[in-house]
Amino acid sequence: MNKLTFEEAQRQVDEWIKKYGVRYFGELSNLAILTEEVGELARIIVRKYGDQSFKKSDENANLADEMADVLWVLICLANQTGVNLTEAFEKNMQKKTSRDKERHRNNPKLKKCDDVMM
């Protein structure tokens, strides 16, 4: 099985938009849609892992599907604004590593699981 790359995902989304979607929604519309999708993801997470209980309307909620919806809209925004997600992700990982490689280890609020169990 081939693993999906960011490049391939961006290409697949672009092809789908051109074949079925007519055109990309505007960037501001996609930003609003992204916000909506993140809200739907948050709704599931707060009910599954947080203190809220599920409602009848949440019965068919699917965490993976909501994450994929967020990813879809993010890829749309990347495509229409010319962002190469592979390059952006690699640069972001380098930034996080150089900035935070010791920061989290030295944070007393973040204890290792072994420390918490003792």
User: What's residue 117's pLDDT?
Assistant: 47
pLDDT of residue 94: 96
Average confidence (pLDDT) over 98-117: 76
Mean pLDDT, the chain, rounded, equals 92
Q: Say which DSSP state 53 is in.
A: P
| For residues 91-101, average pLDDT | 92
Residue 66 banded pLDDT, cuts 50, 70, 90: very high
Class of the CATH-defined domain 6-85: mainly alpha
Q: Can you give the pLDDT at residue 58?
A: 85
Residue with tokens 């994450």: 67
What's at 55, amino acid-wise?
K
| Cβ 104 vs Cβ 110: under 8 Å | yes
| Residue 102 binned pLDDT confidence (cut-offs 50, 70, 90) | confident
DSSP state of 2: P
Lowest-confidence pick of 48-52, 66-70, 93-97, 112-116:
112-116
